[in-house]
Structure 1
Amino acid sequence: MKENLLLKKILLKIFNRISADNNYLKIESIHFKNNYLRIEGNENSLQCEKQSFLRNSHVYIKGMENRISIDIETEVYGNNMQVLFVNGSNNQILIGKNCVIRDTTFFINGNNNVICLENNVSVYGAEFHIEQDNNCLNIKKGTTFHGRNGYPVHIALDEGSSITINEDCMFSNGIQIRSTDSHSIIDSTGKRINYAEDITIGEHCWIGLGCIILKGTTIAPHTVVAAGSICTTEYHKGNCIIAGNPAKVVKENIDWDRKYL
């Protein structure tokens, strides 16, 4: 048993560049290769469960009590540019079972933030970006993202906001989802008027090519958002198509399927 543990540590050092003194590594997978790993601070943790894959990625954690967890049978592959970056304290990146992650950036700069991908999530070419404190991105099971050819799905949170994407949603490429404007807009008295607001996307929604979903948006379940639409408000009626700038309901009593029927 001790020989197996020693061999595992040697292989980790051979196939990866690791600097993680005073922190916790739990690498149960033998498919942890060609990564650059640097952990600074105390009581941070990286956990890769059995039958998970982490390859060709840069992992950087700095601060206190941060956690990255990759569950069983999940594949996280980069092209030596994929980054999992955490700077701050008490942040979490949680990737569930049977997920596939390709060429995707996880970025957290702040404290008490969470990025959670539930089971069976598929992500190709996305950017998950969090600034400041107390933000939460929750992507529920069976949801898929298909960024490609320099047109990623970009999701940004700031100022203690949340973005919730419910089960079995489908995202095309070149999409922006932002709970914040990232800069201040002020009125004539100097008062700021554009604080961050939460975003919720209901289950089984299809978000088309090049859509923009802005702060304060709610999209009801079983909605199709047409390509190039800009969503800025609450859409409470489900089973419909919304389109335009600003987006509005253009067709009702519909549903959609990933397959040609």
Structure 2
Amino acid sequence: MGKGFSLGARSGLGDYCHVGASGGVVIGDDVICGSYVSFHSQEHVFSDSSRPVRDQGVTEVGISVGDGCWLGVKVTVLDGTVIGPNSVVAAGAVVKGNFPPRSLIAGVPARVIRSLD
């Protein structure tokens, strides 16, 4: 069900990874994912405080991870995220948004720490 999942050539997922692909998850070639990395391509809408979250619907924008990335252990990637090619995501980061190529990404919430150039 959902938009699906695509894993590029020579890419791998570590032990106990989770891929929720209802909004689509596309992982490029030569990507390394540590253990317990999770992808969540669906997010609950919660903007109307007069209604329960469960009744407000969801978004399903999708997730894209560029070629040559490395995602450390326990990284969480949320709906709508685009990680540019050849980026490194530090262990434990919670990633949402658009990140340029060759970025070192870390934190909760994740942000670009520096360029890898």
Under TM normalisation by the shorter chain, which class is it? 0.7 to 0.9
- 2:91 is matched with which residue? 227
- 1:200 is matched with which residue? 64
Q: Is it true that 1:165 corresponds to 2:33 in the alignment?
A: no
* The structure with more strand, counted as a fraction of residues: 1
Cα distance in 2 between the residues matched to 1:216 and 1:134: 15
Across the aligned residues of Structure 1 and Structure 2, the Cα RMSD in angstroms comes to 1.9
- 2:108 is matched with which residue? 245
TM-score by length of structure 1 reads 0.41
- 1:216 is matched with which residue? 80
Mapped contact 2:8–2:28 kept (Cα < 8 A):
yes
Mapped contact 1:240–1:250 kept (Cα < 8 A):
yes
Other structure's SS at 2:113 match: strand
Cα distance in 1 between the residues matched to 2:76 and 2:18: 10
Other structure's SS at 1:216 match: coil
Cα distance in 1 between the residues matched to 2:88 and 2:110: 11
Identity, % of aligned positions: 25
| Cα drift, residue 239 of structure 1 | 1.1
Other structure's SS at 1:138 match: strand
| Cα drift, residue 135 of structure 1 | 1.8
**Residues 186 and 249 of structure 1: is their aligned pair in 2 closer, same or farther, counting only changes over 3 Å?**
closer
From 6, 14, 26, the equivalent of 1:146 is 14
Other structure's SS at 1:200 match: strand
Gaps of 5+ in 1: 1-132, 255-261
- 1:156 is matched with which residue? 20
Mapped contact 1:186–1:193 kept (Cα < 8 A):
no
Cα distance in 1 between the residues matched to 2:30 and 2:58: 31
| Cα drift, residue 189 of structure 1 | 5.2
Cα distance in 1 between the residues matched to 2:87 and 2:30: 12
Cα distance in 2 between the residues matched to 1:146 and 1:189: 41
Mapped contact 1:210–1:229 kept (Cα < 8 A):
yes
Q: Structure with the greater relative contact order (CA < 8 A, sep ≥ 6): 1 or 2?
A: 2
Larger radius of gyration: 1
From 43, 48, 51, the equivalent of 1:187 is 48
The total of aligned residue pairs comes to: 114
TM-score by length of structure 2 reads 0.87
For 1:177, the aligned partner's letter is F
For 1:166, the aligned partner's letter is G
Cα distance in 2 between the residues matched to 1:248 and 1:138: 25
Other structure's SS at 2:19 match: strand
